[in-house]
Structure 1
């Protein structure tokens, strides 16, 4: 089993018995310093904590969309690396636990399985509150306004990423989604 993971995870998966094949989501730091995944997330939480004092509908423009945009940039940067990993590994199945699609994973030819572990609302349903809203299930007040604001703040980012996906041979993304549903298995493992 091979884990294709972001480079800051170097040395963290091998002790658990997994083969690591790492990708960079951006050019390496100019100072050549090693990336520390733990420090990245510590810094991320500290830097973004003020965003979570805002109503979730306001976070769409100031937090959620910039995060999506950053994820898209990383996926675009690492696409050739992922293709090389898949060419070396020739997997029987590809399992992805991430929130955004990667064309290489969908076009390599092996069955692709999607794991959803980040958010209980990753798999959309019109009878459930919008993802990222934090709105209650019992009261749909505000759901449509949230969805409209999501479209307003995310449409251009989604169009850019959808074009990247199709330009690299992957199927079009579902409308305003940044990842496909698997034809083989969609596994929700949210705690």
Structure 2
């Protein structure tokens, strides 16, 4: 028969073992927090692809798509931690740095934990070009070419571990000169609403 003292010791050993596993060993929880960087990468990729991701009133992926196609490129890599002289890359970087800093502060991770962070955007032709649905039936054919884009964010921590996430969406090249009083000239089906 096991006495009360033995049960108490066993429960303390089990509790200490669970605590050690939960916090990744004796590193004060840094391992668990570093794993959250995968969530930060996912949030950054989703934020880039979001319909709320704009550049001076136009949808950022569409503006970047136009720039890439004009330059004859199908992919671009933007350093999210380094201030860029390119205006669009700078906007992407500032938003990403702010998001990373807020998240690291929230989980108690030192900013130096993030060694590098990049977003790679790849374009692929989207055929047939139609609005809304990519199912078997075209909802509305569009009068211009549209492109698939994949935004892949990779964050490398101070242990050289990469934390990667990718999101995919579609856009058309947007060459408008903005701002246009804050409202879009395009309707939800891709038609021009006003000039």
- TM-score calculated relative to the size of structure 1: 0.25
Structure with bigger gyration radius = 2
Which protein has the bigger strand share?
2
- TM-score calculated relative to the size of structure 2: 0.25
